[in-house]
Amino acid sequence: MAFHSLTEFIEQLERENELIRISESVSPILEISEITDRVSKSPDGGKALLFENVEGSQMPVLINAFGSTRRMSLALGVEDIEEIPKEIDRYLKIAPPATLLDKVKLLPLLLNAANFPPKMFRGGQAPCQEIVHLGDDVDLGKIPILQCWPNDAGRFITLPIVVNRSADDKLRNVGLYRMQIYDKNTTGMHWHIHKDGAHFFHEFRRQNKRMEVAVAIGADPVVCYSASAPLPYGIDEFLLAGFIRKSAVPLVKCKTVDLEIPATAEIVLEGYIDPSEMRLEGPFGDHTGYYSQDGDYPVFHVTAITHRKNPVYLTTIVGKPPQEDYYLGKATERIFLPLMRTQLPEIVDMDMPLEGVFHNSVILSIDKRYPMQARRMMSALWGLGQMSFVKTILVVDADVDVHDTKAVLRVLLNNIDFKRDLFFSEGILDVLNHGSDQALYGSKLGIDATTKIEGEPGFGKDAHSRQPSKNLPNPKAVVDRFKEVKDCRILDSDSRHSVMFVAFDKTRAHQPGKFISAFFNNPGFAKISILIVLEAHVDLRDYSAIMWKFFNNLDPKRDFHFEDGHLGIDVTRKLPEEGYEQDWPDEIAMSRTIKDQVDKKWKRMFGEK
């Protein structure tokens, strides 16, 4: 079932018992974020939330709308997201018709494809333009835009569908870029250096031309998803939405700029960017779970606000996983897998763990047929679109379920040889990566956990016959021996390689590296194969938090310490004295005051403590 507006989607969520209406008065400054953060971290992502009484605005706020596997499937009009990649596979594998009968069989598929491209809205006034504000009537303050986290630079639009065109007017880009509110009619436009929007902007900048921009907020759910999708350069996101919906996205011409936007959107902002004007934007509590740093970005001047008569403001928050964005990312993982296979057909399956926050970790299974094929796959992925930002890639055999964490861990800890199977590289990294010494690039790690075949080092050695580690040291002995160690825990796994996690009180440069060396030179701790050193405040009982820290803070080449057959990994905060040239960001955390305010309202909102 395809939804043609956000309103239709809300009605379906209510019928499916996937929506909670909240009539309690709430503030868009931090309170909605704290409430949503708690709900999104409940089992299976909790429910979508519709706040009907938001301080300072007449508009209700919808959030966590896509924050579960079930709601993501509903949003895309399928029972199971896997239906979409199967459909894509069907189109990708169309064989050229050889006979007249083949052409006749192909006709229904081609007729269906005719519905994919966007079309202009027909039928009178478009819903998104029922109310029009121009000139002095433009006021972003009437929209209940959130401040998500205490150290954010202000309020941010977090789920905008940003539409612009290339300087030659030949290509349209539809992207999802956060927008900081500066005043009643200006915002920031935070498109990352590697994004298509930034590429188009630099075209306008070179030509010293004003760039027109339109922003749709609260379009139908398929269009919202498609704006976030990592499509190849030049491919229209509205075309992807039409394919998923099986019906064209209706567009309408803007009132003050020469652009088209989704006709059924709730709210539309129209305006322009002067390429000569930049302004400080950020910081912002980002999807990595850390605050992204401030920087100079283009300024969006709003020339018109149009909206429905009774609009709903659709928004989201990002922060420490899991959050709503995890489910959007998981949809992308599944939908784009067939497209990856067109270039790398040996790929069997892929998983992007939530702790890897999309760009930090990928697990890949392959149909292995020749020596060093896993390394080829790593290099290929690091040259493939947004996969080029991935920091760690783990490759396993075709029979390993990449979505089964325990199965992957079992293979990893039983099969890996530190000298043979770890592959270090260097390259570009996501702008939000803070782990490397420099911004935008650093080292990467590939791990080949596939079974070795003839022609590869290790062939003929049965890794599964190796005995698991026994008689492991008592963690208390480590705490007693090293005063910097605040807590210590051994991973419960019956595997050849044993893993110990340490919460470490780092007070000076290079301290963890010296600790790792001293640890492995102590005969009493020789049974530990892998030692992972984390910051002192990390809860070692929470393995998800451990892995989130690991992937975020890691620069593999810098942080891996090999000690006579053992491996120590330092994922503590890095200091300038250690060669770190970025500003290490703060973790996102809500203030105690807001937590207390929400505690007082919680039972009235949800009928529970």
Long-range CB contacts (< 8 A, 24+ apart) of 518-527? 518/482, 519/478, 519/482, 519/568, 520/563, 520/564, 520/566, 520/568, 521/563, 522/481, 524/473, 524/477, 525/473, 525/477, 525/478, 526/566, 527/469, 527/470, 527/471, 527/472, 527/473, 527/498
Strands (E), 379-440: 392-397, 422-428
Q: Which residues make beta-bridge pairs with 133? A: 305
357 Ramachandran zone, left/alpha/beta (phi>0; psi -120 to 50): left
Q: 300 near 313, Cβ under 8 Å? A: no
Token readout for 304 is: 């018109």
- 254's CB contacts (< 8 A; 6+ apart) are 214, 260, 261, 268, 270, 304
Whether residue 286 lies in the annotated active site: yes
Nearest-angstrom CA–CA distance, 550 and 546: 6
CA distance 551 to 357: 8
Per annotation, catalytic residue among 196, 286, 325, 448:
286
Rounded Cα–Cα distance for residues 128 and 111 (Å): 29
First to last CA, the chain: 36
325 sits in which H/E element: helix 324-335
Q: Which helix (H) or strand (E) holds 503?
A: strand 499-504
Both structure tokens of 535: 């910051």
Q: Which of 428, 433, 436, 366 is nearest to 394 (CA)?
A: 366
Tokens of residue 387, six digits: 């996969």
Active site residues: 286
